[in-house]
Amino acid sequence: MDYAEGGDALHKMRKFRDEDNFLEEQDVWLILIQVLRGLEAMHSKNILHRDIKSANVFLYANDIVKVGDLNVSKIVKGGLNYTQTGTPYYASPEVWRDQPYDEKSDIWSLG
């Protein structure tokens, strides 16, 4: 288990909002690219995160970002998934409709 000195992306965004401030565009891109690379690594091993949200994006020193909280992740065996899980606000349309879904659902949640 790691300790994320910078907390999570949700708290960072709330802090900036409360201070009536904005994240710099380069910081947004830095976070987004690292999350996408993390998802790419998981998806290459047939792992769906299934709960991508800012509270599960952890910020470390030296601009390192990690995707965490794999409690509801799943290894995909032979095709699409049907299980409805994760945080409803970030669920893809397929999950809401109880339709099969794949790694694209994680990308939807990230958006």
Element (H, E) at 25: helix 25-44
The catalytic residues are 51
Q: What totals of helices (H) and strands (E) does the chain contain, helices first?
A: 4, 4
Residues 5, 3: Cα–Cα separation, whole Å = 6
Nearest to 76 by CA among 103, 41, 97: 103
| Burial (CB count <10 Å: 0-12, 13-18, 19+), residue 67 | buried
